């Protein structure tokens, strides 16, 4: 049996241990002193201090260090040009949303931004105002309309509005592994800044959860499911590009979105209309349909 350590000696050992740990942190931080790029120096020295503080606070075991390295290695191996497990990790840790919050400062009533997600595709087809972006995607038809203005309230003509969404089974077109293009398109705001299109009423769906990030969520008792949403990316010259979504008021998942993307200002009424209700553009629809309004306000660029 080990000799009992006298109190004074235990304190002395703890002090020595703390000094050793702090010396290491300081040495690593100082190793970046010579970086040519001031910003690189700032970022790496702060990262060093926070990383070391985390390791010291949780008293990370060597087994846990190996598990962490294994986790990151598995995430890296799963990542290719179609699957980005490391961005997914950032998403479920709220790091993506925190970065978005930092870089999209509140500005005179400008619409809030939210997470981009992995399912945007360049070169989605163009539809005219009032057109249908569903392109065969299944789901309840949904009429979406609104305006694009700047923070002075002036209409923005010709804003490019990219929209994309999952179908009623919770899948984006690109997840089917065939060549279909559905549930996505772009259109342009008209002279009054107005826009309108048919899509489908958003439904909840899980983020990809068959990899290490899914295993982390399962082990943490967290659901991979996202609150139902419809993605937008809006660009116009001289104005800040807006990447956002709208969410469905009343969706019970609003409080537990797996990537922390929900903002109150982005929750919209989706009114469900009974079968037979005339549609805004005279389109004949068999069955129910829904409608919503999303007025978009773009902040100045820069
Ligand atoms: C999405 O909304 O498409 C999404 C966002 C973050 C992670 C996975 C999916
Ligand atoms: Fe999505």
pLDDT tens per residue across span 133-172: 999 999 999 999 999 999 999 999 999 999 999 999 999 9
| Domain presence at residue 68 | no
CA neighbor of 52 nearest in space, from 274, 44, 100: 44
Q: Do 53 and 172 fall within a single domain?
A: no
Is any atom of ligand 1 closer than 6 Å to the C-beta of 207?
yes
Q: Decide whether any atom of ligand 1 lies within 6 Å of the 233 Cβ.
A: no
The DSSP-derived string for 191-245 is: TTSEEEEEEE----EEPP-SSHHHHHHHHTT---EEPPEEEEEEE-TTB--EEEE
Record the tokens describing residue 215, joined without a space: 């295993």
Separation between Cα atoms, residue 255 and residue 145, nearest integer Å? 26
Asked whether residue 52 falls in the same domain as residue 154, the answer is no
Decide if 247 is inside a domain.
Answer: yes
- 209 touches ligand 1 (CB under 6 Å): no
Residues 55 and 93 occupy one common structural domain: no
Q: pLDDT: is 159 or 3 the higher one?
A: 159
54 shares a domain with 196 = no
176 with 32, same domain: the answer is no
Q: Which domain holds residue 130?
A: 89-298
Mean pLDDT across 184-210: 97
Kindly state the percentage of the chain with pLDDT values over 70. Answer: 98
The predicted-structure confidence for 89-103, as pLDDT tens digits, reads as follows 999 999 999 999 999
Q: How many CB atoms lie within 10 A of CB 231?
A: 23
User: Would you state the pLDDT for residue 7?
Assistant: 75
* pLDDT-derived band at 1, boundaries 50, 70, 90: low
Taking the alpha carbons of 248, 252, 253, 254 in that order, is the dihedral positive or negative? positive
Q: Which pLDDT belongs to residue 220? A: 98
Quick one: 38 and 147 in the same domain?
Answer: no
Asked if residue 151 and residue 39 are part of one domain, the reply reads no
Q: Say if residue 34 is in the same domain as residue 128.
A: no
The CATH number covering residue 137 comes to 2.60.130.10
Q: Report the atom number in ligand 1 closest to the C-alpha of 166.
A: 3
Take atom 2 of ligand 1 and give the residue whose Cα is closest: 117
3-state helix, strand, coil in the chain (%, to 5): 30, 20, 45
Of 41, 60, 79, which closes a domain? 60
Phi–psi pair at 174, nearest 5 degrees: -65, -15
| Domain end among 60, 78, 101 | 60
Q: Across residues 212-226, what is the average pLDDT?
A: 98
Rounded Cα distance between 164 and 144, Å, is 12
Q: Above 70 in pLDDT, residue 65?
A: yes
Distance in Å, CA 289 to ligand 2 centroid:
21
Q: Looking at the 3D structure of the chain, how many domains does it have?
A: 2
**Taking residues 51-58, what's their average pLDDT?**
98
Q: Is the dihedral of CA 112, 118, 123, 125 positive or negative?
A: negative
Residue 163, ligand 1, Cβ within 6 A = no
> With a 6 A CB cut-off, is 117 part of the ligand 1 pocket?
yes
Cβ of 224 closer than 6 Å to ligand 1, yes or no, is no
pTM of the model: 0.92
- Residue 131: is its pLDDT beyond 90? yes
Q: Considering the domain boundaries, does residue 34 fall inside one?
A: yes
Task: Kindly state whether residues 136 and 35 are assigned to the same domain.
Answer: no
Q: What mean pLDDT is reported for the chain?
A: 96
pLDDT over threshold 80, residue 4: no
C-alpha of residue 118 to centroid of ligand 1, in Å: 6
Task: Report the separation in Å between the CA atom of 82 and the middle of ligand 2, taken as the mean of its atom positions.
Answer: 15
Q: Do residues 245 and 294 both lie within one domain?
A: yes
CA–centroid distance, 71 to ligand 2, in Å, is 25
Query: Considering Cα of 99, then 237, then 297, then 123, what sign does the dihedral take?
Result: negative
- Does a structural domain hold residue 71? no
Structural domain includes residue 210: yes
Domain boundary among 17, 40, 60: 60
Residue 31: inside a domain, yes or no?
yes
Q: Are 130 and 20 part of one and the same domain?
A: no
Q: CB within 5 A of ion ligand 2: which residues? A: 117
Specify if 49 maps to a domain.
Answer: yes
The residue-averaged pLDDT of 24-33 equals 98
Q: Tell whether ligand 1 has an atom less than 6 A from the beta carbon of residue 204.
A: no
Ligand 1 atom with the smallest distance to the CA of 259 is 6
**Which pLDDT belongs to residue 108?**
82
Residue 155 lies in a domain: yes
Distances (CA, A) of 73 to 68, 69, 93, 154: 9, 6, 17, 50
Say if residue 24 is in the same domain as residue 119. no
Highest mean pLDDT among 78-87, 99-108, 162-171: 162-171
């Amino acid at each position: 049996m080990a000799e009992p350590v006298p109190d004074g000696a235990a304190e002395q050992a703890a002090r020595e241990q703390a000094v050793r740990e702090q010396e290491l942190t300081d040495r690593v931080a100082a190793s970046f002193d010579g970086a040519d790029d001031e910003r690189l120096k700032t970022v790496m020295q702060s990262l060093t201090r926070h990383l070391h503080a985390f390791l010291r606070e949780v008293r990370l075991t060597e087994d846990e260090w190996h598990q962490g390295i294994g986790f990151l290695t598995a995430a890296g191996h799963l990542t290719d040009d179609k699957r980005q497990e490391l961005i997914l990790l950032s998403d479920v840790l709220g790091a993506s949303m925190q970065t978005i919050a930092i870089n999209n400062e509140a500005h005179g009533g400008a619409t809030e931004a939210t997470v981009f997600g992995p399912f945007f595709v360049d070169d989605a087809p163009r539809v005219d105002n009032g057109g249908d972006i569903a392109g065969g995607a299944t789901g309840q038809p949904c009429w979406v309309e609104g305006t694009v203005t700047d923070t002075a309230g002036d209409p923005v003509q010709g804003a490019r509005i990219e929209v994309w969404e999952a179908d009623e089974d919770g899948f984006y077109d690109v997840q089917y592994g065939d060549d279909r293009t559905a549930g996505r398109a772009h259109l342009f705001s008209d002279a009054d800044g107005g826009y309108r299109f048919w899509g489908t009423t958003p439904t909840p769906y899980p983020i990809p959860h068959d990899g290490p990030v899914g295993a982390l969520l399962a082990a943490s008792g967290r659901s991979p499911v996202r609150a139902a949403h419809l993605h937008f990316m809006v660009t116009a010259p001289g104005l800040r590009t807006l990447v956002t979504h709208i969410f469905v008021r009343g969706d019970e998942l609003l409080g537990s979105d797996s990537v922390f993307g929900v903002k109150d200002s982005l929750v919209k009424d989706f009114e469900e209309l009974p079968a037979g209700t005339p549609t805004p553009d005279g389109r004949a629809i068999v069955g129910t349909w829904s409608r919503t309004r999303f007025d978009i306000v773009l902040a100045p660029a820069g």
